[in-house]
Amino acid sequence: MMRSIFSGVSGLRNHQTRMDVIGNNIANVNTVGFKSSRVTFKEGFAQILQGASRPPGDTAEVSGGTNPVQVGLGMNIGSIDLLFTQGSLESTGVNTDLAIQGESFFIVADGAQRFYTRAGNFQLDADGRMVAATNGAVVQGRLTDDTGELTDQIQDIILPFGQKSPARATTQVTFSGNLNAEAPDGATRETTITVYDRMGVAHDVRFRFERSETADRTWNLEIFVPSADGQDPDNPTPIVTGGSLVFDNEGRLESFTPEDFSFTPDSGADAVEIELNFGAIGGLRGITQFAGPSTAVVREQDGYMQGDLERFSIDTTGTIFGAFTNGVTLMLGQVAMADFNNPAGLIRVGDNQYAVSPNSGQAVIGFAGEGSQSTITAGALEMSNVDLAQEFTNLITTQRGFQSNARVISTSDEMLQEVVTLKR
């Protein structure tokens, strides 16, 4: 009877542990990135009252072998397992909120040690660092160098607010539209576009097309840059003269000159060299000569002035792009991710974070789409994976198990009481 009491005590103690785990799961039903746990039991030591015997070797004997006679002495905790099933994603609209779809973890650091988390409720601190909202640990990843390329070094993610996007000098202008095939000799068409030098200073460039009076299907070209060095802004002279566009008898571009031109700006910047793109020879894209209004224009140019970082966005690979006030979008960095051979072996350290244990394996660091099969959803958070229906069912079975073990103890006590009263 003493054995039954001890078995009941082990049942009470370990069912209480299971209740503790269930209570923790339910308490964290709304915790971002929380992963639930489960308790498994195993039988305890069994006392052998009688050993097993094997059958006799003599077939004349009528008796056979006997099984061992054992009495179990209760139960123990077999394991408390972390369940890394995928949690549902909740859209938040906050661009620093990140959710992982897959088995990877975010990497955060407190300056001395790295930790791993599924909770992507990040924010920016006063220095532009991306940090965990719960404790300020800095999100880890890689940043771009001066050339705009991602480095290989894993470091703090810092968004450089106040960063400048350097100006880019115009190197090409592209034309489109039509020059009227029925225009009289000497007819003109003018179009103007703003280009930029290496200092980001804007310059208006005017292109003048004039129907040739001496050559059929030919338009002469002149280019004016009023802000070129040495020009009179009020009465500029052509930077380019003698240029021409020649069309075939189907109205398609046959040849053009010049292919490029240059000018030295009065801002003091280096000379600006610009390629002219009138479209493919013989094609219908670019400049054409058909009967109809003259609509030739400069459609685009590839230069821009300097700009300031205005906002940022994060794509499914965790790559951070900055949008600048000059309309340019540049890559700023990429959020790193970690995978483990055995994520259930990680150690909870609080604040929705985990640390490496001897049985988890070391972190394999990669990036979404590059070493990791997981993807990142920006503007969303992964919710807890606690299944309330399952937890409430476990509550019932745990309560019944606890009550049953308590009944074993009370019944064993009553039986002992009967033994005590035998002397009366």
Give the largest CA-CA distance in the chain: 142
CA quadruple 297, 300, 303, 308: dihedral sign: positive
Going by C-alpha positions, the residue among 72, 139, 122 that lies closest to residue 335 is 139
List the beta bridge partners of residue 243: 221
| H/E stretch holding 274 | strand 272-277
- CATH code of the domain made up of 172-301: 2.60.98.20
107-129 mean pLDDT: 94
146-159 mean pLDDT: 90
Domain boundaries in the chain? 2-50+69-84+385-423, 98-159+320-376, 172-301
26-53 mean pLDDT: 90
pLDDT beyond 70 at 418: yes
Burial of 47 from C-beta contacts in 10 A (0-12 / 13-18 / 19+): exposed
Helices and strands (H, E) in the chain, number of each type? 2, 33
The reported pLDDT for the residue numbered 31 is: 95
The reported pLDDT for the residue numbered 58 is: 65
The CA distance from 44 to 76, in Å, is 6
348-361 mean pLDDT: 94
310 vs 340 pLDDT, higher one: 340
Tokens of 208: 């003048």
pLDDT in tens, 204-253: 999 999 999 988 899 999 999 999 999 999 999 999 999 999 999 999 99
pLDDT beyond 70 at 407: yes
pLDDT beyond 60 at 1: no
